[in-house]
Structure formats: C-alpha cells, structure tokens
A = this chain, B = another copy of it.
Amino acid sequence: MTTADARTPASKQNDGTPDGAIPDDGAGKSIGWHKGYVQGSRPDLRVPVRQVHLTNGKDVTLYDTSGPYTDPAIDTDVRRGLAPLRENWIIARGDTEEYAGRPVRPEDDGVKHTSPRGGLRNLDAVFPGRPRQPRRSRDGRPVTQLAYARRGEITPEMEYVAIRENVEAEVVREEIAAGRAVLPANVNHPEIEPMIIGKRFLVKVNANIGNSAVTSSIEEEVDKMTWATKWGADTVMDLSTGRNIHTTREWVLRNSPVPIGTVPLYQALEKVDGRAEELTWEIYKDTVIEQAEQGVDYMTVHAGVRLPYVPLTARRKTGIVSRGGSIMAAWCLAHHKESFLYEHFEELCEILATYDVTYSLGDGLRPGSIADANDEAQFAELRTLGELNSIAKRFGVQTMIEGPGHVPMHKIKENIDLQQEICEEAPFYTLGPLTTDVAPAYDHITSGIGAAMIAWWGTAMLCYVTPKEHLGLPNRDDVKTGVITYKIAAHAADLAKGHPGAQEWDDALSDARFEFRWEDQFNLALDPDTAREFHDETLPAEPAKTAHFCSMCGPKFCSMKISQDIRRQHGGSQEEIEEGMAEKSKEFAAAGNRVYLPIAD
C-alpha cells in the first residue's frame, strides 16, 4: 500500500484547525499521524487514510472520513465548496447530460410570496460557490451504480471503495449487483469520497443534522456536518424542517465529502405550511426533483405507510413516532385514500434512477417504545418494504431499508433476520435500537447497546442517536458524542463479525497500553483529545506520559509492570520469555496436568 505524504501535525486532529506548525521527530515523519492517500489505478483515484505513526517506528493505517479538511496541502473554503472529485468519472461514462433544471423558488426556502418577512434571513445565505447546472440521465435509462454493476462494470467509485475496505473490486461489484450493498452517489454530488453500505463491509454510521422551526442556522448545520465527518460519520442526513431548507442543503452538499441523505417529505410539508392533508404527489415529486438536482445521495421515502396499517397503531403505547410516518398517516386518513407515495412508487423509481439517488425505504411505523416493539404494524410495513424493494431493483434503483427504533435486546435479532429475508438481503439501516425507555439524556447509550448487537447480526449502517434524543436539538458536543458512541458500536460489530483487519486497531492500542506508550494510546484512540485530557487530569506532568505506571495503581505497584517484570525475569526476547516460562511450568507438570480437570479431580 503506497501512501502519498500530506503531512499533518498531531495537534491538528486534536484542535481541528487547518493551520499550525508541523512538529517533526527528525526522522522526516510527522509526529502522531498524517493524512495519507492510497493510489488507485488512475491518477485521480486517491483514497484518503489516516496514518498513525507510533513511537516504536511502526505505522497503523485507519479508515478516514474527514475529507479534504484534514489535509493541510488542500486549501478548503466553505464559501467555494469542495473540488468535484468524481466529475470526470461521471462525464466519462457519457450517459448523463447537463440541463437547465428546475428554477429555485422562494417557497423552496419556506418563504411565501406573501410573507411579510420575505426572502432569506440574509442574502449572504445564498451559496456563493461556482455556478453549476444539474445533470441527469441522457436517455432516462438508469445511471446507477447498481445498473453498472449488473452490466459487469467496475466503476472508479467501486474501485475507490474496494481500496477503502481493503477487498477486491469484484467483491464490491458483486455485492452491489446483488442488491446486498449500496454505493450512494448522486451524479449531482461529485464532491463525495465514495463509500459503500453492505453487511460484507465495515459497519457505517450516519449522523443527523438539520435546523428546525425552533432553532439553529445554516452556518451551524454546515459546521455540524464537517464536525461529524471529522469524528467518523460515514454519511450525514440533513433533516432541516425550518426556513432556508433549500439553501442550507446547498451549502451542506457543496461542502460534504460524504453522501448526504434527506427526507423530502419534510420539505414538501413546509411547502404546504405544515398541513399534511394539503400534500399532493405533484408537490412531493417536485421536491424530490429539486433535491435530486442539488445532489442528495439518498432519500428516505415512507411509501410503506399504507392506509390499512394506520388502525394497527391504535392500540400502541406511543402510536406513530416517525415524523414522516405520521405525516403520511395523517394524509391517508384525511383523504381516506391509499398513500400517494405507495401509489406513485414506480414513477418515483424512474426519477431516482436518472440521478442515481438511493432509496432509504423509511420505517414510518417503527416502534417508539419498548412496549410497541416487533408489533403487527411494524412488521406489516416491513413486508410492504420488501415488496417496494423488489420494484426499486427492477428499475435499477439502489435501495436500503430502514429499521427501528425502540426494541428490547431479546427482540432485536428477529428484526434483522426478518428484514434480510423479506428484503432479499438489502442493506439494513437502523436507528439504534434503544434497548430501554427509562434513560432520556443517555439514549446514545441505551441505543448504542442495541446498535452494536444488530450490527453484529448484519445491519450495514447505524443511524446515530445523540444524548439530546427525545429532549432537544443536538449541539456540537452532542454530535461528537453521538458519532463516537456509534463508531464504538460499529467497530465492536466489525470485530464480532471478524471483519478482516478490524482487530489490528485494537491490537495496536493494546500493545501501546501494555508498553506504556501513552502518546501512541492517545493517537490511536477514537477520540485522542479526550483520552489525553483525562490522563492529564490525574497525572498532568509531561514525564507521566512516559512513566511506566499510571494513576490507577501508582508508581509503587502496577500490574502491567509486574507482567513485564515476569517476562524480563525469564529472558529478553519473546522466544526466550516463552522458553523460560515453559521451563518454570515444567516444574509443575503434575499440577499443570491436574488443573485442566479440577472438577473431575
């Protein structure tokens, strides 16, 4: 694996600032870590990695989602947006064309012509980056990674993720072609660094951002997106429901190195001023096209919430908790008609296929409490999602399936097993699940438990939950806590699944721990800043970073130290150690043979 050399100071990952001098250990390699690239088969195919440099001279290569922001060699500017990494790949395929596109209207930002306040909060809000025309399929045929994979083509995007996942490109193509994995990559979002979602690959994490009618601004949302990817978010969903939805999304898309997901229904609802019954297929379709032209990579569509299922929620403890689900339920009941999303699903497939927008079939009837888990309403919808999954595949649209929610541990496995069976192994994308309802303010933990388990059993992507779930909108700290918690769940699952290479990371950190290489422990940690900060709280002095003891036992006695003494006592090299110890153990052969059958004894 060859890596380019975009040097980055150790401090950089820690304070997240793009500038600052680059410390050097003199050996010509930056201290701590640097952003590296793995060169693919073509000059413009370079896969970013995080190269951690250990004080013992070794390197550890980690998956990197942070985008160009952590590469000091690249000058980023949120007002300009990221470089269109994939543009040439898309053009080279020759199956898309630029076109005028749908004109942006004030109501796209939730502004009525009659609005006394008029326009955007401030004109600066309009994205000032390079002008662009939307792109779509030249002839209406699917321009999706699924279509290419079925044709046997290995696209640059597929090669890119193969390098990222450290597998053969053919494996990536097969999984996509079979519908067991998705590679969300709208032709109008050339800025992304391709990633893949499927059970044969590393478990991914999504972070939600988005303003609401109640709080927050465009700047905050763009910052939350870069912040979330810095800590490891593989995709980001913009769930904005307030004003400036269109403009906020434009800023997010143009600056995002990861796929962006949305729930078009939220914006559609804003266009009818929050009155669900006034929604129409036309308004919804127009919103989908608006977002597809901007470059949204995957869309949550609640087409599984059918009128006949709504009564099934009457006996529930918490009814319908999915916002999209309840919007569609309200519409269905107001008109006593079948869902317009279900009725127009094939037409929707045709639209998504021409931009390569990936379906995330929403679970609008997911349980919102332990009491409602795995009930009739939930599984009735899941069966319909299976039906819709088959239709989407027929139209060449990449598809993943969303899952719950609130589920006690003993009912989790049934969710993934049923979904895999009903949806022909389409990637499962779950929210948690939360394993208890009694800990508001700690739902990142109640759900991190369920997330780790369901990911071990086959869920491909986990939607994070922050400490603010059920209580308020997450701030910067909540986003970080949510992402870190879910990276833990995802990696724990990668280990349990025996994902190739997953354990190397744990082993490198454990070696550093055993050898008291504190700086290496910090640099290998999911969150180096906090690890270093916690250590320094108890033992602030610099020497403590090289001390062969820690604050738990203190200098007088340390278990790690004893283990090392035991080794030393039996010679230097690993070989000598084992010989020496084997020697000692021979002395107790009798006992040694006995202790393996103490009970029979």
| Residues of chain A having any CB pair with chain B under 8 Å | 212-215, 241-242, 269, 273-274, 276, 306-315, 317-323, 325-327, 329-330, 333, 336, 338, 368-371, 380, 383-384, 386-387, 390, 408-410, 422, 435-442, 445-446, 448-449, 452-453, 456, 467-468, 470-473, 475, 484-485, 487-489, 491-493, 495-498, 503, 505-507, 509-511, 513-514, 521-522, 524-527, 530-531, 533-535, 537-539, 550-557, 559-560, 562-567, 569-570, 577-578, 581-582, 584-585, 587-588, 591-592, 595-599, 601
Contact = CB atoms under 8 A, between A and B. Distances in A.
Contacts of A513: 318, 368-369, 437, 470
A336 B584 contact: yes
Contacts of A495: 370, 408-410, 435-436
Nearest to A522: B440
Contacts of A588: 307-308, 338
A522 B438 CA distance: 10
B587 A318 contact: no
Contact of A317 (B276, B321, B488, B511): B511
Given A333-B569, A484-B439, A598 B384 contact: yes
Contacts of A453: 409, 449, 453
B582 A311 contact: yes
A342 B476 CA distance: 53
B438 A506 contact: yes
Nearest to A590: B308
A563 B215 CA distance: 24
A499 to B, nearest CB: 11
Q: Is the interface of A mostly helix, strand, loop or mixed?
A: helix
B534 A308 contact: no
A475 B570 CA distance: 39
A67 to B, nearest CB: 21
Given A242-B554, A329-B563, 8 more contacts: A215-B538, A319-B563, A410-B496, A438-B526, A440-B522, A470-B550, A472-B538, A473-B551
Contacts of A445: 445, 448, 485, 488
A203 to B, nearest CB: 12
B514 A319 contact: yes
